[in-house]
Structure 1
Amino acid sequence: MITAKDIMETNIICVNPDTEIPRAVELLLNNHINGVPVVNEREELVGLLCQSDLIFQQKEMPVPPIFTILDSIFPLFSSKKIDEEFKKLSATKVEQAMVSDPVTVEAHTPVSEIASLMVEKHFHTLPVVDGKKLLGVIGKEDILKTLIPKE
């Protein structure tokens, strides 16, 4: 059975929470990767920054639907959601745009389970961890490589 340990990339390109957004974009584009793990000073995974998190910055801020009753204004969705969207739209550092609790897999996770996660949840990048320690990264290409017969 092929596991995460067998296909993960261990030469990992990482950023830290204080990395500037333009630098993170350069890393993604120059290395042709969809996502990059965010690690703290102890090399522990604290988040994941994906292309979609950065593309989010290019969308327009939604105007929340409101209704009025007796001259009072009531939003139809929570201000917490608006605050989160505004924070992502205005991000200048990775910490403000990253997913802070990313889905991860362990070294012994079977490739079939990793493939299911990627397909069902639309993930392109999955960090491989041991506790909080980042061991490697698996991208969709790593899964595809398992389909090539070994000679």
Structure 2
Amino acid sequence: MGIKSFEGKRAEPEKIQSASIQVKDYMSENLITFRKDHYVVEVMETLIKNKISGAPVVNENNELLGIISDGDCMKQISESRYYNMPIGDMKVEQYMETDVPTIDKNVSIFDCASLFYKHNCRRFPIIENGKLIGQISRKDILCAALKLRGQNWHS
């Protein structure tokens, strides 16, 4: 699994005004997660019920294994027709994305926005000491930008 991690700058001290514009201040910590042995149909039901487009897949130690998204579910729906299989017989492990970029909680929201643009993802999991501690989405960055509107935009 090739997880790319985008680390925060550690060498230079943070400026006081930039303290409130880091990923950690806008990330979601109460996450819906899946296990690799869940059925894709369970994922579809959960995504719809919670109005989300994807979620992390973790093991019993809360270590990130991948991400499963609505796009991954679409692939399963498409293949179920092609292979004449019932929708939802397949497990998350067969459809999840395992090459998932992660981001450090101390990265500024501006750098995070740039990474979203560059990598064309919808969400970045946040890992600390090998464990999933949160997730930042495009929507979280938009919310942060609206809160900061009118303030000093230097990071």
TM class, shorter-length: 0.7 to 0.9
Pick aligned residue for 2:120 from 119, 122, 147: 122
The 5 A counterparts of 1:98-113 are 98-113=96-111
**TM-score relative to the length of structure 2:** 0.72
Distance 2:51 2:88 in 1: 25
Distance 2:147 2:24 in 1: 19
Residue in structure 2 matched with residue 77 of structure 1 by the alignment: none
Structure 1 unaligned spans of 5+: 62-88
The 5 A counterparts of 1:72-87 are none
Identity of aligned residues (%): 33
Residue in structure 2 matched with residue 139 of structure 1 by the alignment: 137
Distance 1:20 1:148 in 2: 37
Matched residue type, 2:61: R
3-state SS in 2 of match to 1:137 = strand
Maintained 8 Å contact 1:34/1:125: no
3-state SS in 2 of match to 1:16 = coil
**What is the CA distance between 1:17 and its match in structure 2?**
0.6
Deviations 1:12-70 (A, max 9, x none): 11011111111111111111111100000001111111111111224469xxxxxxxxx
Distance 1:24 1:60 in 2: 16
3-state SS in 2 of match to 1:101 = coil
Residue in structure 2 matched with residue 38 of structure 1 by the alignment: 57
Deviations 1:59-111 (A, max 9, x none): 469xxxxxxxxxxxxxxxxxxxxxxxxxxx99711111001131100111221
Two-structure CA RMSD over aligned residues (Å): 2.3
The count of residues paired between Structure 1 and Structure 2 equals 124
Higher-Rg member (1/2): 1
Residue in structure 2 matched with residue 56 of structure 1 by the alignment: 75
Moved over 3 A (4+): 58-61
Distance 1:35 1:18 in 2: 16
Distance 1:57 1:128 in 2: 27
Distance 2:110 2:35 in 1: 30
Residue in structure 1 matched with residue 35 of structure 2 by the alignment: 16
Maintained 8 Å contact 2:42/2:88: no
Distance 1:143 1:116 in 2: 10
Distance 1:47 1:60 in 2: 20
**TM-score relative to the length of structure 1:** 0.74
